[in-house]
Amino acid sequence: MKSRRATVELSRLLRDSGGTVVSGGVVSRALSISRQAVWKAVRDLEEEGFVVTSVPQKGYILRELPGYDLAPSLIGSMISSDCPWGGEIHVFGTVPSTQEAAKRIGRQSEIDGLVVIAEEQTKGRGRRERIWISPRGAGLYFSVFFRPRMLPGRLQLVNLAAGLAVREAILTVCGTTVSLKWPNDLLFEGRKICGILSEASSDPERIRDCCTGIGINISLSKEDLAGAGLENAASLGSGTEPVHRGILCAAVIEKFYHLIEGLSADGGKTLLSRYREECSTIGKNVTVLTEEERFAGRAAGIGENGELLVENREGTRSFCAADVVHATPD
């Protein structure tokens, strides 16, 4: 399935109508499309699972929203109209990787903030080419393709923004507080619930495009996680209330967009200030693991480009990309 700007805006218009008739003329003017294009958009919504009644000589009434929580136009319509991201959302049953699909589709398009979602990834991956287990229907797996206005050396700030966006969205939508571990791992009761990967295409002067992939464990049981060798992972949907993945996805996209816009506006000052307040790694004794070494010390802060600053008796070191282990209390 695929949304487009017309189906997203029509979905938003019908949802806002409160079950009353919206005339074809009103829709045509609001969306700046022809009556024939309105009819086509209605048919496309019906294919996504919307129940829309056409009233002759009057217009259209929304009777029922899709039962499928990842209907793309529904997700797009739940994003505020002041956020341009999510105007085109592709939803696949199975893909090797939403990252690869989003980069392929995005680079053939002029759309900024294009989103690719999958029910299942067969080759999902995280940082340092690690495998991200993505079983069908058990999580929210999506990538956002966009074109930020920033220098290549500051890509880590995109990761920080994504981590903040997911943390805030989970709190807003689910009422669950998760901790943010540098650079962008989300932990629930000390176990990983979400992974984030940002990749960029750049030249020496600018980032041409960026793709950020987000995987959130939703409904994997402890047995599922243990069977996949993920004893240190957690699942967001372990509470009593089911998680509507579409609502959560829309919240992440919107919050992520505003953080990226703020990054472009002030060079990261606001983002870094907020991240330093919310990152659970700061102040902890940690061990930093790189491909070359292990470095133990106290996480002293976050640098201007999002790097982790770690200090011990040997001095202070900065790490741009590494695995971090939080020391556990005795």
- pLDDT tens digit string along 162-175? 999 999 999 999 99
Does the residue 280 lie in any domain? no
Of the listed ranges 4-13, 44-53, 184-193, 229-238, the least confidently predicted one is 229-238
pLDDT value of position 330: 36
| SS3 of residue 141 by DSSP | strand
Share of the chain above pLDDT 70, in %: 92
CATH number of the CATH domain containing 54:
1.10.10.10
- CB distance 110 to 209 below 8 Å: no
Domain with 300 in it: 285-326
Looking at residue 132, its pLDDT comes to 64
Query: Is residue 72 in some structural domain?
Result: no
Model pTM above 0.95? no
Main-chain phi, psi angles of 55, to 5 degrees: -100, 115
- Residue 256 CB partners (closer than 8 Å, separation 6+): 85, 144, 161, 162, 165, 212
Answer whether residue 105 shows pLDDT above 50: yes
Q: At 134, list the tokens.
A: 């993505």
Residue 111 lies in a domain: yes
pLDDT for 37-61, tens place per residue? Answer: 999 999 999 999 999 999 988 999 9
Q: Does residue 150 sit in the same domain as residue 204?
A: yes
Among 176, 180, 165, CA closest to 277: 180
Does one domain contain both 244 and 144?
yes
Residues 58 and 97 in one domain: no
Domain identity same for 254 and 167:
yes
CATH number of the domain bearing residue 255: 3.30.930.10
| pLDDT digit string, tens, across residues 280-295 | 999 999 999 888 889 9
Has residue 55 been placed in a domain?
Answer: yes
Q: Say if 209 falls within a structural domain.
A: yes
Report, in this order, helix, strand and coil percent for the chain, each rounded to 5: 35, 30, 35
- Give the chain's domain count: 3
314 compared with 103, residue with greater pLDDT = 103
Residue 308 belongs to domain with CATH number: 2.30.30.100
Do 129 and 16 sit in the same domain of this protein? no
pLDDT at 321: 78
Domain boundary, last residue among 64, 97, 112 = 64
The two tokens of residue 57 are 């000589």
Mean pLDDT score, 214-219: 91
Same domain, yes or no, for 208 and 177? yes
Same domain, 13 and 51: yes
Using the predicted structure, report yes or no on whether residue 256 has a pLDDT greater than 80: yes
> Is residue 259 included in any domain, yes or no?
yes
Could you tell me if 196 and 242 lie in one domain? yes
What pLDDT does 216 receive? 93
Last residue of one domain, picked from the residues 34, 64, 94: 64
128 within a domain of the structure (yes/no): yes
Shared domain for 137 and 167, answered yes or no, is yes
* Domain-embedded: residue 36: yes
Burial of 69 (0-12, 13-18, 19+ CB in 10 A): middle
Q: Are 121 and 191 found together in one domain?
A: yes
- With 60 as the cut, is the pLDDT of residue 229 above it? no
The model's confidence at residue 180, banded by pLDDT at 50, 70 and 90, is very high
Q: Do 57 and 176 fall into the same domain?
A: no
The per-residue pLDDT for 103 is 96
Q: Say if residue 242 is in the same domain as residue 114.
A: yes
153 pLDDT band, cuts 50/70/90, is confident
Q: What is the mean pLDDT of the chain?
A: 90
* pLDDT average, residue stretch 108-127: 87
Least confident of 138-147, 217-226, 258-267, 304-313: 217-226
